């Protein structure tokens, strides 16, 4: 019988990372060198070479792809299994941006399949922590910018002049469809939910170099055909109101739906008719998720995957919870 599943984080060094992940991933980070920069914690993944491994219950030690192979639609939902096979549809990360990330763009499904035999990469950010005045870059200031103007700006190292800069606060949500030029700024920590794809076209890296004096590879030629020059940054900043004990659906896309819940004591989460897995991420506080009578505790920053075959979900505790799923319609 399936039950709510937890996984071991896979922690990555990044040139722009910091030390927050060492603190926030507890035992998973205990053996890591303390003098390194860690930028990403891959908390749920089926990317080849980085497949998540179960950390709780009788299935402990099995990886996510193995579970999908055995349980198929009972785990992910019949339509998801038919569409994605052994590949889990979503990748969930926690990012600690101690420095600015590169300005980048991701291809859509069509271009990614044509070039890489892969899915594209549409993603979303939830701002978990940020320093005062922290900002990110999302789309262009002028949505009428031409392909030629963009190419000239890149060649002349003045791309930053064209980018739309957005100051952030804790709890902000941003939707980043494939094709949207973007970059996270320094002093921001985010929960990132995305399609299962690791394809990134790096456009500009702020002229920085690594510890060996080497700059990272850029993909400016590949990026041009991937960019949506008319992306509406204002629309992609998903503003919402969340009352005590309430909920707010902040993203509904073909790739994933994201809902935020305020949890005050006990809350029943309706999933009637949902033939899909659901990921629950504890954003603030502590809580317990119970699915079909099987309980699993969640501390801040932890996630649990509730299989599609489990129907009755109750959350108890106090804090903020993210709910994410892929539902083919």
Domains of the chain: 10-236 (2.60.120.10), 247-325 (2.60.120.10)
| Token reading at 27 | 């035992």
pLDDT above 90: residue 215: no
Q: What is the pLDDT of residues 66-95, one digit of tens each?
A: 999 999 999 999 999 999 999 999 999 999
Q: Above 70 in pLDDT, residue 189?
A: yes
CB-facing half-sphere around the CA of 60: CA atoms within 13 A: 4
Q: What's the confidence (pLDDT) of residue 14?
A: 95
Q: How far is CA 54 from the centre of its chain?
A: 19
pLDDT of residue 71: 97
State the pLDDT at residue 27.
78
How far apart are alpha carbons 177 and 190 in whole angstroms?
17
Question: What region, left, alpha or beta, does residue 319 occupy, with left being phi > 0 and alpha being psi -120 to 50 degrees?
Answer: left
- Return the pLDDT at 213: 81
Whether pLDDT at 202 is above 90: yes
Query: Among the listed ranges 3-7, 8-12, 22-26, 79-83, which one has the minimum average pLDDT value?
Result: 22-26
Catalytic center residues: 202
HSE (CB half, 13 Å, CA atoms) of 229?
12
Residues 203-232: what's their mean pLDDT?
A: 89
């Amino acid at each position: 019988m399936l039950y709510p599943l937890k996984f071991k984080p896979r922690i990555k060094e990044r040139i722009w990372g910091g030390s927050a992940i060492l603190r926030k991933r507890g035992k998973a980070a205990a053996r890591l060198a303390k003098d390194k920069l860690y930028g990403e914690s891959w908390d749920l993944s089926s990317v080849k070479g980085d497949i998540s491994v179960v950390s709780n219950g009788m299935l402990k030690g099995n990886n996510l792809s193995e579970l999908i192979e055995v349980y198929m639609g009972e785990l992910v939902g019949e339509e998801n299994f038919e569409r994605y096979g052994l590949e889990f549809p979503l990748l969930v990360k926690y990012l600690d941006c101690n420095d600015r990330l590169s300005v980048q763009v991701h291809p859509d499904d069509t271009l990614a399949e044509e070039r890489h035999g892969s899915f594209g990469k549409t993603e979303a950010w939830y701002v978990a922590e940020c320093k005062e005045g922290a900002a990110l870059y999302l789309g262009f200031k002028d949505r009428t910018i031409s392909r030629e103007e963009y190419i000239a700006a890149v060649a002349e190292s003045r791309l930053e002049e064209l980018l739309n800069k957005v100051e952030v606060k804790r709890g902000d949500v941003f939707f980043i469809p494939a094709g949207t030029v973007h970059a996270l700024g320094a002093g921001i920590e985010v929960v990132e939910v995305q399609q299962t794809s690791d394809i990134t076209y790096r456009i500009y890296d702020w002229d920085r170099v690594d510890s060996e004096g080497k700059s990272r590879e850029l993909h400016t030629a590949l990026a041009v055909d991937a960019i949506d020059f008319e992306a509406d940054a204002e629309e992609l900043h998903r503003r919402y109101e969340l009352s005590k004990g309430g909920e707010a659906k902040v993203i509904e896309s073909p790739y994933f739906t994201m809902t935020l819940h305020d949890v005050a004591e006990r809350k029943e989460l309706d999933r009637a008719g949902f033939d899909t897995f659901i990921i629950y991420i504890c954003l603030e506080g502590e809580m317990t998720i119970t699915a079909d009578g099987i309980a699993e505790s969640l501390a801040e920053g932890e996630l649990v995957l509730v299989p599609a075959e489990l129907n009755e979900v109750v959350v108890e505790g106090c804090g903020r919870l993210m709910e994410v799923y892929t539902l083919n319609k």
